[in-house]
Amino acid sequence: MNYIGEHLWAAELGRGLTAFSFVFALLSTFAYYSKGEDWKTVGRLAFRLHAITLFGLIGTLFFIMANHYFEFDYVWKHTSLDLPPRYLFSAFWEGQEGSFLLWMFWNAILGWVLTYTAKNFEGPVVGVFAAVQAFLVSMILGIWIGDYQLGYSPFNLVRELPENLGLPWTQFEDYLTRFPNFMDGSGLNPLLQNYWMTIHPPTLFLGFASTLIPFSYAIAGLLRKDYTSWISSALKWSVFSVGILGVGILMGGAWAYEALSFGGFWAWDPVENTSLVPWLTMAAGTHLLLIQRNKGGVMPSVLFLLIISFLLVLYSTFLTRSGILGDSSVHAFVDLGLSGQLLIYLLFFTLGSLGLFLARYRGLPKKEKEDRMDSREFWMFIGALVLLISGLQITLSTSYPVFNKLFGPEGLIHLYDENKVLNDPIKHYNAIQVPFAIIITLLIGAGQFLSYRQTSSKLFFQRQITTLVATTILTGLSAWALDMWNPMYITLMWTSYYAVIANLEFWIRWGKGQWNFAGASVAHVGFGLLIAGALVSNANKDIISQNRTFIHEDFPANENLLLSLGDTVEMGKYWATWSGQNEEGYYINYELEFFEEIDGKLEAAFNLSPRIQLNERMGNVAEPSTRHTLTKDIYTHVTYADLRTEEERGTDEWKNEFELELNVGDTHFLYGKYQLELDTLVVDAPHSEGELDYAILGAGLTITTLEDSVYKVMPVYAVQGNQAQQVDAEIKELGLKFSFDRINYESNKPVIIASEHTEAEVPFILVKAEVFPWINLLWLGSILMAVGTGIAIAQRVKRERK
């Protein structure tokens, strides 16, 4: 059958390019690992053809998305006609297929750059790239081998999906115009329609892609048994990797803080954890590369760290894309059924690289002379080791779902009967990672006063007298100002200030304040500030929306404040009013006005508008609104609001119907404001000739308000034969109505329905407001880290040119 209106050429082109891209990647791998200059030329050509076909296929996918060809599953799932063009990129990498393409895109660019810069290491280095690309392209191949689908193509037509094959609608050649479903796609998830989604994934994936370069150099070195000539190149790229990956991760944190209501920038979610771990090991590897270049003797550790950094990226990919995190993460990908392929990808590189490492281990250059305990390199080594343990601890705790799959009740090797889980992940990670952060920041500081090879202890202390005094004074002042006396926190504060000041001092002492030498110092200062900012803003977080009326010790109930429309309530040192709401696209904005008390008068301070996104796909989502000031942020979000439309709320005068079953003498606390009691039940039920003529029942109710006003009413229920009738009772002053609905014949209790008059009900919302003090330190630190690594790379490139 010839279907009308389909753009089959695009499907053919896209799939064709995918297939060629895959074949070229394989060819390139093979050629690069064959001996001879000719083969190298073939490998390079094949890699570039792979990259060109890859760019072509990315372009094709962009084209069909931009033109809304809704017969394509990927287009239909991720775009819609009303999607603003600026979100096209976000839509492109919203799905697994697109984000794989983003990753491959960066790998292709970096690989291409390496065909120029890697010089005589081009063969084995770009060869590894080609192999990785072959695996990645296979994820989107979408070809069937018997009953097994290899990869999941973004060029699948909706009608070709297995679940749609043979369905009646596929029998119409004009299905695209016949069925309204194909007129418009389901669009980009509104939650992802913001600029963070445009910048965060490309940065993070560039970070992921960049971990492959040091890995490739390590593999190349092992293959050639060359453990010297690639160190400088690998070092430059590993600094790049630390910088970009760090920025990518922190952007995710900034996104969470700015636009999502997770309540902070870091939640120890598995997806966050598994992207942090490669950064930790890459940072460790970079520092060891430095030692190796300056002094040598740490080759085995360097190789190990560079290798596992990339392997941990693969592990992260496996966790977030195989569906295994389902129960424990809020933002893992939808499972595409690629878990088998992902596992093979992970195992191939893990076994291959670690196997090669172990095979070569005996021949690796080892230390000739032992490091002295007073040398800089010894403590840098310890620092790298601590980063590694910290990363492995996070990996271990994040891997519970994997352990459950392997050893749990339905596991491969049955070791325990109940699936294991972390009850309070945030507490768990903080408890373990804070001590690590203390050691790391301490070493970052102390290392600056140590020299390579050896340092006399006199010199070590002389150098840092000023720093120690300044750090201690600053810590004392901060602790006093913030009233923060937890010994663990004070220690971390001291060590992170120490790291900051020591590095500043080092830069002034050795770098003479010149930008050329600032790279490492600026990055270290940034790291220290980041840790200090994270500590202070979290440990001193103040929830100002305390609900004073219903204080319940240890109950978090008091963290949400009820704001009735127009009412002004106290919130920390502020007063807040909910003055109204307005709708804007997917959003309902809630207008909050904040006032400050100045000389006994309330003065307008600032306005915030936290909002709720009406999101049919993910469920409605609260988005925070934050007042930024230099020393603190005031972060608010709406935790409860009545989202029913006028229609759903109904035009009824009466609402909040509430059914009560009461015995005489029973009481009930109604609507949180009235005490209701059934005093009497009046019954008039005459019989004649054994038959019930009729029955009239009256329920005598007493209603007591919180102000102790007492009202008495009697709703009536009458029944004759099959006919029943009610006479309702109203209390006009309170806007209450009672209806004697029926007798429950099972419990023999009268059933009363209470309802409230519309006007008696004032609209309200619940708001949670938190103050994050000094969170700007965290952002400043992040920026300095990025700038510092940038300077460091520029330094290295410059030095190489000389």
DSSP state of 758: G
Contact segment (CB under 8 A) with another protein among 10-18, 45-53, 542-550, 793-801 equals 542-550
Site map (CB under 8 A) of another protein, residues 562-601, x = contact? x---------------------------------------
Q: Which residues, 6+ apart, have CB-to-CB distance to 224 below 8 Å?
A: 124
In this chain, which of 389, 602, 718, 787 binds another protein, going by CB under 8 A? 389
In this chain, which of 84, 85, 162, 168 binds another protein, going by CB under 8 A? 168
Distance of CA 505 to the CA centre of its chain: 36
Task: Quote the least distance from Cβ 93 to another protein, whole Å.
Answer: 15
Q: Is 675 near another protein (CB under 8 A)?
A: no
Q: Is 393 near another protein (CB under 8 A)?
A: yes
Site map (CB under 8 A) of another protein, residues 107-136, x = contact? ------------------------------
Q: Is 622 near another protein (CB under 8 A)?
A: yes
Task: Quote the least distance from Cβ 23 to another protein, whole Å.
Answer: 32
In this chain, which of 8, 343, 347, 421 binds another protein, going by CB under 8 A? 421
CB nearer another protein, residue 392 or residue 602: 392
In this chain, which of 38, 174, 327, 666 binds another protein, going by CB under 8 A? 327
Residues 642/628, Cβ–Cβ less than 8 Å: no
Task: Quote the least distance from Cβ 622 to another protein, whole Å.
Answer: 7
Rounded CA-CA distance 417/404 in Å is 9
In this chain, which of 52, 88, 150, 385 binds another protein, going by CB under 8 A? 385
Task: Quote the least distance from Cβ 564 to another protein, whole Å.
Answer: 10
Contact segment (CB under 8 A) with another protein among 228-236, 395-403, 733-741, 746-754 equals 395-403
Contact segment (CB under 8 A) with another protein among 148-156, 444-452, 473-481, 637-645 equals 637-645
Q: Which two tokens stand for residue 27?
A: 């060819």
3-class DSSP assignment, residue 181: helix
Q: Which two tokens stand for residue 409?
A: 């009740």
3-state per-residue secondary structure call for 581-618: EEEECCEEEEEEEEEEEECCEEEEEEEECCEEECCCCC
Q: Report in angstroms the alpha-carbon separations of 502 from 9, 286, 311, 640, 690.
A: 63, 20, 34, 47, 101
Beta-ladder partners of 703? 676, 711
In this chain, which of 104, 314, 518, 621 binds another protein, going by CB under 8 A? 621
Rounded CA-CA distance 649/646 in Å is 5
Q: Is 173 near another protein (CB under 8 A)?
A: no
Count of residues touching another protein (by CB under 8 A): 65
Task: Quote the least distance from Cβ 716 to another protein, whole Å.
Answer: 26
Rounded CA-CA distance 336/151 in Å is 9
Q: Which residues of 128-153 are buried (b: 16+ CB within 10 A; e: fewer)?
A: bbbbbbbbbbbbbbbeeeeeebbbbb
CB nearer another protein, residue 3 or residue 112: 3
Q: Is 726 near another protein (CB under 8 A)?
A: no
CB nearer another protein, residue 510 or residue 658: 658
In this chain, which of 46, 61, 131, 388 binds another protein, going by CB under 8 A? 388
Name the residue with tokens 């109940």. 418
Closest CA to 497 of 518, 520, 455, 469: 469
Contact segment (CB under 8 A) with another protein among 211-219, 224-232, 282-290, 412-420 equals 412-420
Task: Quote the least distance from Cβ 167 to another protein, whole Å.
Answer: 5
Residues 684-703 that bind another protein (CB under 8 A): none
CB nearer another protein, residue 416 or residue 606: 416
Task: Quote the least distance from Cβ 224 to another protein, whole Å.
Answer: 26
Closest CA to 379 of 228, 502, 493, 473: 502
3-state per-residue secondary structure call for 665-694: CCEEEECCCEEEEEEEEEEECCEECCEECC
Task: Quote the least distance from Cβ 289 to another protein, whole Å.
Answer: 16
Rounded CA-CA distance 494/442 in Å is 9
Closest CA to 452 of 556, 505, 374: 374
CB nearer another protein, residue 340 or residue 409: 409
Site map (CB under 8 A) of another protein, residues 60-99, x = contact? ----------------xx----------------------
Rounded CA-CA distance 474/679 in Å is 69
Residue 314: its H or E element: helix 299-321
Q: What is the DSSP string of 453-474?
A: S---HHHHHHHHHHHHHHHHHH
Site map (CB under 8 A) of another protein, residues 544-563, x = contact? ---x-xx-x--xxx--x-x-
Rounded CA-CA distance 322/143 in Å is 19
Q: What is the DSSP string of 51-97?
A: HHHHHHHHHHHHHHHHTT-TTBHHHHHH--TTS-GGGHHHHHTTSHH
Q: Is 382 near another protein (CB under 8 A)?
A: yes
Task: Quote the least distance from Cβ 392 to another protein, whole Å.
Answer: 6
Residues 280/388, Cβ–Cβ less than 8 Å: yes
Q: Which two tokens stand for residue 683?
A: 């019954």
Q: Which two tokens stand for residue 19?
A: 């297939």
Contact segment (CB under 8 A) with another protein among 81-89, 129-137, 165-173, 220-228 equals 165-173
In this chain, which of 23, 254, 432, 751 binds another protein, going by CB under 8 A? 432
Residues near another protein (CB under 8 A) are 76-77, 158, 163-164, 167-169, 179-181, 186, 326-327, 330, 334, 367, 370-371, 373, 378, 381-382, 385-386, 388-389, 392-393, 396-397, 400, 416, 418-424, 428, 432, 547, 549-550, 552, 555-557, 560, 562, 612, 616-622, 639-640, 643, 672, 764, 766
